[in-house]
Amino acid sequence: MTVSTPPVAAKKPHVETHHDIAISDDYAWLRDPGYPEVTDPEVLAHLAAENAWFQQRMAPHQGRIDALFTEMRGRIKEADKSVPQKDGDWLYWIEFEEGAEYKKWWRRPIVGGPDELILDEVALAAGHEYFRLGAIAVSNDGTMLAWSVDENGSERFTARVKVIASGEVIPDEIPGTLSSLVWVAGDTGIVYSLANEQWRTDNARLHWLGTTLQSDVELYHEADEGFRVGAALSANEQWLIIGTSDHETSEVRLVPAADPLAEPILVKPRQPGVEYDVELREDQLTIHTNDTHENFRLATAALADPGNWTTLIEGSDAFYLTGFDLFRDFYVIEGRLAGLDQIELRYYDDPARIEPITFPEASYSAGLGDNPEWAVEKLRLSYESMVSPATVYDYHLADRSLEVLKVQELPCGYDASLYVTERLEIAARDGTKVPVSVVMRKDRDSAGPLHLYGYGAYGIAIDPGFSTTRLSLVDRGFAYAIAHIRGGDDLGRAWYKAGKLERRTNAFTDFVDVAQGLIERGLTEAGQISISGGSAGGELMGAVINSDPALWGAVVAHVPFVDVLNTMLDASLPLTPGEWPEWGNPIEDKAAFELIRSYSPYDQVTAQAYPPLLVTAGLNDPRVTYWEPAKWVARLRELKTDDHELLLKTNMGAGHGGKSGRFESLKETAEEFAFILWQLGVRDD
């Protein structure tokens, strides 16, 4: 049935008072009281009506959506496989077959022999609307495989174990996991973490194969509801590393992998604001920590005295030390210098010997790849830029040379010489220089359409990497820009801190100022800028359309975190307690309450003209609950004074990441790009 007007959500008065301030929320009813089960008929009917409106408005553009999908798919090598990597007696790789949405995991013996299929995602996903592989781990002796899957997007994974040679899946099954799977104690046990009712991993548990779940042993329980627990095996595979942390504080315990029931060794008691992670080599710990410098230092300690740390590499204002990896004869540090990735090799027996690995381009993304072995003569690396497809290298230690193993192939063809990438600096309103990565065709007309992407939260940097889908905009005359705004850690820890808590609005103003700067440089015009962001980046979208609606010609907000105040006021929600270090605690702190209220996109919707907007949600999303975008769209429909498009699409069988599968997810990108091209008036002829 065709309807002429968009859905209008019912208004049901709902008022809550905090700090003697009454907050009215007429759309609070869109939260099903039975969540995470969503069965309320009125809620489901409203979401269905919004989905029908989305389908109706996009139907005339289905031809373009199909064309975009076809060209995006044409850039993917359908029958493809990864570069095999040695791990013990085996070579492991993954492989996609022609037309397959999901991959298969393979191996073969180093000494020769037939290829062996160890996990078939295609078969596991059959019959499911959604499928996502969580953890996968081969036992240390190579005979068994543990893996976990999520079949509805709720991010509650079920773990299973099988004998690889026979394919027999043993009866042991662990539902509700949200963690890695770690083999210990001669492959007789697996360490994992369960998600509790609030979707928090407050535990590390040991399951002995062949026993009931009721007999599983809790190795560690976290009392602080804001912390999350995870476990990993040390690089030398001798120790189980159990870590617990929130966004700014961490604590680590060590347990012998051969004796997981032994008394854990606490490395150092947690100290608010101090983060650290640990690796081991023989009887020495290496610690990566921000205790003396916000950009982290590297320290060492004796296993017998794990809390007594001696500096190995000092913290630096210039170099942001993001991580490290230990190997038998050397170690590798990773970091960023002026926002660009750096990789250095250093040697235990010669502290003065430092080997940086250099790359040819001025702007790029690089890092260590999969390096599972302890004793190695070469390192697997990954590299890409906004114009260079993903490349896999081996770095040979003996002669310090890079060997190209694989370059991402685009079957339809790709000529990097047609494109140019730039790294710009644009001044924010307070004078801070904000890096911006830009890619465009060399023959692009000036002041054409431009797409601007941003995130700016949680200290997550947005790398200037390669994207096959992005080409569908760039080849239609767009410049594509990434704003490396404050709130990410692109330029170090200070950059992150400058966009969180009481300085959160810097992320929003940085994004607006970058857009203005791109206009001033002649790259585009107001109203010819499309923007997108997801999750916390969706919050960014909501903030900038409230503050500067006339700048944007089209906006796409994926699973947007827009109901910030109400979410941070609800400690029963899965993520809320762990999020307070990032946003502030408005329950206890009136200043935090007032600040969040001042920028929360849902709370700041006003009677004004808004740009065209496409919003997505996932019914099973545990990170940004479906009602946040649903409520936001309802309030926008009520108050906005324009007749621009406002569309909401809720994935009824998926979660935070949208549809699963490498081609199904492309269909959603094709819809997004078709919406942008439609709203900016970009034609294909």
pLDDT band per the 50, 70, 90 thresholds, residue 354:
very high
Residue type, 196: N
- Taking alpha carbons only, the member of 437, 451, 450, 529 closest to residue 484 is 437
Q: Would the pLDDT of 383 be above 70?
A: yes
Q: Would the pLDDT of 659 be above 80?
A: no
DSSP state of 671: H
CA distance linking residue 325 with residue 309, whole number of Å: 18
What mean pLDDT is predicted for residues 467-472? Answer: 97
Residue 679 in tokens: 């709203």
Beta strand extents in 410-567 (DSSP E only): 419-427, 433-441, 450-453, 479-483, 529-534, 552-558
Going from N- to C-terminal start, the domains of the chain cover 15-73+413-680, 78-120, 128-266
How many other CB atoms are found less than 10 A from the CB of residue 362? 10
Q: What is the SS3 assignment for 533?
A: strand
What mean pLDDT is predicted for residues 24-30? Answer: 98
Q: Would the pLDDT of 2 be above 90?
A: no
What mean pLDDT is predicted for residues 91-113? Answer: 95
What mean pLDDT is predicted for residues 655-682? Answer: 88
The three-point CA angle 562-609-635 to 5° equals: 40
How many other CB atoms are found less than 10 A from the CB of residue 594? 14
Q: Please, where are the H alpha helices in 493-572? A: 493-497, 505-520, 536-547, 564-568
Q: Which of 341, 490, 621, 660 is catalytic?
A: 621
Residue type, 644: H
User: Phi and psi (nearest 5°) for 434?
Assistant: -105, 120
Percent of the chain with pLDDT over 90: 90
What mean pLDDT is predicted for residues 471-496? Answer: 97
97-101, 477-481, 512-516, 672-676: the lowest-pLDDT one: 97-101
Distant-in-sequence contacts of 158-163, Cβ < 8 A, 24+ apart: 159/134, 159/135, 159/190, 159/192, 161/190, 161/209
What mean pLDDT is predicted for residues 560-580? Answer: 92
Mind listing the pLDDT tens digit for each residue in 407-427? 999 999 999 999 999 999 999
Q: Which of 193, 277, 656, 660 is catalytic?
A: 656
Range 15-73+413-680 has CATH code 3.40.50.1820: yes
356-360, 524-528, 548-552: the lowest-pLDDT one: 356-360
9-23, 46-60, 149-163, 668-682: the lowest-pLDDT one: 149-163
Q: Distance of CA 31 to CAs 26, 150, 567, 599, 626, Å?
A: 11, 23, 12, 22, 8
Mind listing the pLDDT tens digit for each residue in 258-309? 999 999 999 999 999 999 999 999 999 999 999 999 999 999 999 999 999 9
Q: How far apart are the first and last CA of the chain?
A: 32
Q: Would the pLDDT of 44 be above 70?
A: yes
Supply the pLDDT for residue 508.
Answer: 98
Q: What is the SS3 assignment for 124?
A: helix
What mean pLDDT is predicted for residues 147-163? Answer: 93
Kindly compute the dihedral angle of the four CA atoms of residues 470, 475, 477, 480, in this order, to the nearest 10 degrees.
Answer: 20
Q: Would the pLDDT of 440 be above 70?
A: yes
How many other CB atoms are found less than 10 A from the CB of residue 679? 20
Supply the pLDDT for residue 313.
Answer: 97
The three-point CA angle 170-173-176 to 5° equals: 160
pLDDT band per the 50, 70, 90 thresholds, residue 656:
low
CATH of range 128-266; options 3.40.50.2300, 3.40.30.10, 3.90.1300.10, 2.130.10.120 = 2.130.10.120
Q: Is 382 a catalytic residue?
A: no
Supply the pLDDT for residue 152.
Answer: 86
Domain 15-73+413-680 shares a fold with domain 128-266: no
How high is the mean pLDDT of the chain?
A: 95
CA atoms within 13 A on the CB side of 608: 11
Q: Would the pLDDT of 654 be above 90?
A: no
Mind listing the pLDDT tens digit for each residue in 517-549? 999 999 999 999 999 999 999 999 999 999 999
Instruction: Tell me which of 189 and 660 has the higher pLDDT.
Output: 189
How far does Cα 213 stand from its chain's mean position? 31
- Taking alpha carbons only, the member of 139, 57, 77, 31 closest to residue 614 is 57
Q: Would the pLDDT of 1 be above 70?
A: no
Q: Would the pLDDT of 484 be above 90?
A: yes
Mind listing the pLDDT tens digit for each residue in 191-242? 999 998 888 899 999 999 999 999 999 999 999 989 999 999 999 899 999 9
Q: Which of 437, 535, 600, 660 is catalytic?
A: 535
10 touches 40 (CB < 8 A)? no
Q: Is 484 a catalytic residue?
A: no
Supply the pLDDT for residue 657.
Answer: 67
CA distance linking residue 303 with residue 281, whole number of Å: 10
Q: Is 115 a catalytic residue?
A: no
Supply the pLDDT for residue 685.
Answer: 66
Supply the pLDDT for residue 623.
Answer: 83
Q: Which residue has the tokens 């059959």?
A: 126
Mind listing the pLDDT tens digit for each residue in 164-182? 999 999 999 999 999 999 9
